[in-house]
Amino acid sequence: MNEPPVVRLATVTSTQDVARDLPIGSVVVADHQTAGRGRLAHRWEAPPGTALLVSFVLNPNPLLSLAAGVAAAEACGGDVRLKWPNDLLLAGSKVGGILIEATPTKAICGIGINLTWAPDGAAQLDQPREQLLERLLRAIERWSSAAPGEVLSRWRELSDTIGKRVRIQLPDRVIEGTAGDIDSSGNLVVDGELVSAGSLSVLDG
């Protein structure tokens, strides 16, 4: 297996910004982001050197967000679970997140994982960054090209959302109900209704 070209930088606005101009197969890692971002215009902030901040340039894949979640959870270890649509949880608290920004020709998959620092209410993994990156490189290669059924099955196994009562904030309304499953496109099924995106909170433990 050929190792992908890894661009290592000290400080960037966002690894996503750098990765956008690179060819498929490239990887960007930074010590610090001055304008890191997550889904729904949320900011991702961490002191320099305290998190794994990495972006992968990949082929477009409609299930890439789920595949990246599976890859990240497996790279982190058995205690990390997945919260739909894009969060990594450790003991019920957010330890990392995933952001997919797609173009017609490629997808930029950003992953941030708290290692030695975490904001209030979040978790940190306390693992060596380079070892985690090595595992993540292998896991992303494996899961970004896996069969859709395999991705969906493994995501369900790692899910901390399925079976829980949830509240999802949409732009125009709020949905509450039981998260029963994900469908073949990665939508969350809440009391029979398909939800493709939104800000989710769990109503019970």
34 found inside a domain: yes
Structural domain boundaries, residue 84: 6-150
pLDDT at 129: 96
- Does residue 144 sit in the same domain as residue 192? no
Residues 90 and 183 grouped into a single domain: no
Do the domain assignments include residue 194? Answer: yes
pLDDT tens column, 111-149: 999 999 999 999 999 999 999 999 999 999 999 999 999
Residues in the chain: 205
Among all chains, which residue has been given the structure tokens 């732009």?
171
Same domain, 111 and 195: no
175-197 pLDDT per residue, tens: 999 999 999 999 999 999 999 99
Q: Is the peptide bond before 62 cis (omega within 30 degrees of 0)?
A: no
pTM over 0.85: yes
**pLDDT tens digits along 92-115:** 999 999 999 998 899 999 999 999
Confidence at residue 29, expressed as pLDDT on a 0 to 100 scale: 98
- Pairing of the two strands 51-58 and 80-83: unpaired
Q: Average pLDDT of 73-83?
A: 95
Find the helix packing angle between 129-143 and 64-76, rounded to 10°: 140
Question: 40: pLDDT confidence band, cut at 50, 70 and 90?
Answer: very low
Amino acid at position 205, single letter: G
Statement: residue 37 has pLDDT above 80? no
141 with 171, same domain? no
**Residue 205: pLDDT over 60:** no
pLDDT band at 28 (very low <50, low <70, confident <90, very high): very high
Total tally of structural domains belonging to the chain: 2
pLDDT of 41 above 60: no
AA identity, residue 197:
A
- CA distance readout (Å), 161 to 27, 111, 157, 178, 182: 29, 20, 10, 9, 10
- Are 95 and 194 within one domain? no
Q: Let me know if residue 157 belongs to a domain.
A: no
Average of per-residue pLDDT values in the chain:
93
pLDDT value of position 4: 72
Same domain, 49 and 121: yes
The answer to whether position 159 is within a domain reads: no
Run of H or E residues at 22: none
CA distance 158 to 179: 14
SS3 content of the chain, % helix, strand, coil (to 5): 25, 35, 40
